[in-house]
């Protein structure tokens, strides 16, 4: 075993590589589970897709600075390409905005429902492809291992405001905390942190947030000209990078989530948060670690570029959960067709359809269950 210090020293060797992080309990679980993936693939060959051909999605700090800059440039490029959806959403000014539109249009369908995990898997795959095919990106979608930065997110490689970060915190403006609708009240509140205003550092300091708000967690955002939130409402990116929220995303929460929930119903419910009991879940925890506008907006959150790293981690956690028992969990879907089953609807099945609105046609849930061979082989990736 390498000591943590030696590990870090080796990782920074050469100067190009970022400071290393020792593997956490979830990383170790993932690594130790790869033998199950190998066994499963041996019994269930997936054509061209195998562990040698699979794409590897990596953690932000495991990219070197050049790779981080390449990813950032690709996102900035997507933000500079003209929208394909401006006819249906006048506020969409770029290809990046198109993804925000699709999320807004389908928020009520794809959260707290059977579609949550498969749909976001499709959504990430499509975004990753856009970065590669439309913006010349040669890497893959990185993820944000929450645990690495949870103690001090503001000074982390993700939010430190450097040119290899996803931009920094917002400037401080006095603002209220975020309420979680516990039942019965009093409401649980994530205390406000040191930001709340415009992001003025790092690569995304000049970006324009164009869509929403719809469910803002800040109270002073100018309203969208359209009730559906899809009108043009240009404003700065705001954040309230918040360690109070990050505290529920440490590795012990994620490990507990993966190992103590044996079926999709409880796995997903625990991950998304059990608000009535005041349990935020790692999903909400990560969103509100960023906070502000649009990251703190349930509908418009993909408009903060760091959303995509957060949801890649969500997808990774699902994958790690799946590989504990592939035979069962590649077919385990649960929950109903509507958010928190309101209004009441039937249970979801593997035959239900997912789509990205006018961006991409129907994909059955069953085709989104496996990262190794899903969508007829179009999905072929693992997380490292």
**Tokens read off for 121:** 């898997």
**Minimum CB distance to ligand NAG smaller for 200 or for 358:** 200
**Pick 188 or 256: Cβ nearer ligand NAG:** 256
Task: Give the residue with the Cβ less far from ligand NAG, 78 or 230.
Answer: 78
Q: Give min distance, CB of 205 to ligand NAG, in A.
A: 5
Cβ closest to ligand NAG, residue 138 vs residue 206: 206
Which residues of the shown chain bind ligand NAG in the complex (CB under 6 A)?
A: 203, 205-206, 250, 252-253, 256, 265, 334, 347
- Read off the tokens for 374: 């899903």
| Least spacing, CB of residue 301 vs ligand NAG, in Å | 22
Least Cβ distance, residue 175 to ligand NAG (angstroms):
24
CB of 99 or CB of 253, closer to ligand NAG: 253
Q: How far is the CB of 60 from ligand NAG (least distance, A)?
A: 18
Alpha-carbon 97 to chain mean position: 16
User: Least distance (Å) from ligand NAG to the CB of residue 23?
Assistant: 17
Nearest-CA neighbor of 159 among 2, 292, 28, 275?
292
E strands, the chain, where?
Answer: 55-57, 170-172, 178-180, 188-190, 196-199, 208-209, 235-236, 353-354, 363-364, 381-383
Q: How far is the CB of 345 from ligand NAG (least distance, A)?
A: 10
- Positive/negative CA dihedral, 67, 23, 166, 91: positive
Nearest to 253 by CA among 24, 23, 12, 9: 24
d(CA 204, CA 161): 9
Taking Cα atoms as reference points, which of 96, 17, 97 lies closest to residue 59? 17
CA–CA dist 165, 274 (Å, integer): 31
- DSSP class of residue 209? E
Q: What is the CA radius of gyration of the chain?
A: 20
Distance from chain centroid for Cα 292: 16
Question: In whole angstroms, how close is the CB of 256 to ligand NAG at the nearest point?
Answer: 4
Q: How far is the CB of 174 from ligand NAG (least distance, A)?
A: 26
Q: CB nearer to ligand NAG: give 35 or 80.
A: 80
Nearer to ligand NAG, 37 or 313 (CB): 313
Least CB distance from residue 179 to ligand NAG, whole Å? 21
Least Å distance between CB 362 and ligand NAG?
A: 23
- Report long-range pairs for 327-332 (Cβ below 8 Å, ≥24 apart): 327/40, 329/264, 330/369, 330/370, 331/366, 331/369, 332/263, 332/264
Query: For the CA atoms of 235, 125, 165, 201, what is the dihedral angle to 10 degrees?
Result: -10
**3-state DSSP helix/strand/coil % of the chain, to nearest 5:** 40, 10, 50
Residue 179 or 252: the one with the smaller Cβ distance to ligand NAG is: 252
Using the minimum distance from each CB to ligand NAG, give the nearer residue, 182 or 345.
345
Q: Are 328 and 267 in contact (CB under 8 A)?
A: no
Nearer to ligand NAG, 50 or 345 (CB): 345
């Amino acid at each position: 075993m390498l000591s943590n210090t030696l590990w870090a020293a080796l990782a920074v060797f050469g100067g190009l590589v970022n400071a290393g992080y020792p593997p956490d309990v979830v990383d170790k679980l993932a690594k130790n589970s790869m033998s199950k993936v190998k066994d499963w693939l041996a019994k269930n060959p997936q054509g061209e897709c195998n562990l040698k051909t699979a794409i590897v999605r990596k953690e932000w700090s495991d990219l070197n600075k050049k790779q981080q800059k390449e990813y950032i440039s690709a996102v900035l490029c997507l933000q500079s390409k003209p929208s394909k959806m401006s006819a249906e959403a006048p506020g969409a000014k770029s290809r990046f905005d198109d993804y925000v539109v699709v999320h807004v249009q389908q928020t009520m369908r794809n959260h707290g429902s059977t579609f949550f995990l498969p749909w976001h898997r499709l959504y990430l795959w499509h975004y990753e492809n856009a970065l590669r095919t439309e913006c010349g990106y040669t890497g893959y979608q990185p993820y944000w291992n929450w645990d690495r930065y949870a103690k001090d997110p503001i000074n982390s490689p993700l939010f430190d405001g450097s040119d290899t970060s996803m931009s920094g915190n917002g400037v401080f403006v006095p603002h209220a905390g975020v309420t979680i609708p516990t039942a019965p009240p009093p409401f649980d509140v994530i205390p406000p942190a040191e930001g709340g205003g415009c992001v003025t550092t790092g690569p995304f300091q000049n970006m324009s947030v164009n869509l929403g708000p719809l469910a803002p967690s800040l109270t002073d955002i100018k309203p969208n000209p359209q009730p559906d939130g899809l009108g043009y409402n240009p404003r700065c990116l705001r954040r309230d990078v918040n360690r109070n929220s990050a505290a529920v995303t440490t590795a012990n929460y994620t490990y507990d989530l993966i190992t103590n929930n044996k079926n999709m119903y409880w796995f997903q419910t625990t991950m998304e948060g059990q608000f009535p009991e005041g349990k935020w879940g790692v999903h909400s925890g990560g969103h509100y670690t960023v906070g502000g506008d649009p990251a703190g907006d349930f509908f418009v959150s993909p408009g903060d570029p760091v959303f995509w790293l957060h949801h890649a981690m969500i997808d990774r956690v699902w994958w790690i959960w799946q590989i504990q028992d592939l035979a069962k969990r590649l077919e385990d879907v649960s929950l109903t067709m509507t958010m928190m089953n309101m209004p009441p609807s039937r249970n979801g099945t593997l035959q239900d359809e997912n789509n990205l609105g006018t961006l991409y046609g129907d994909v059955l849930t069953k085709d989104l269950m496996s990262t190794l061979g899903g969508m007829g082989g179009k999905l072929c990736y693992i997380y490292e």
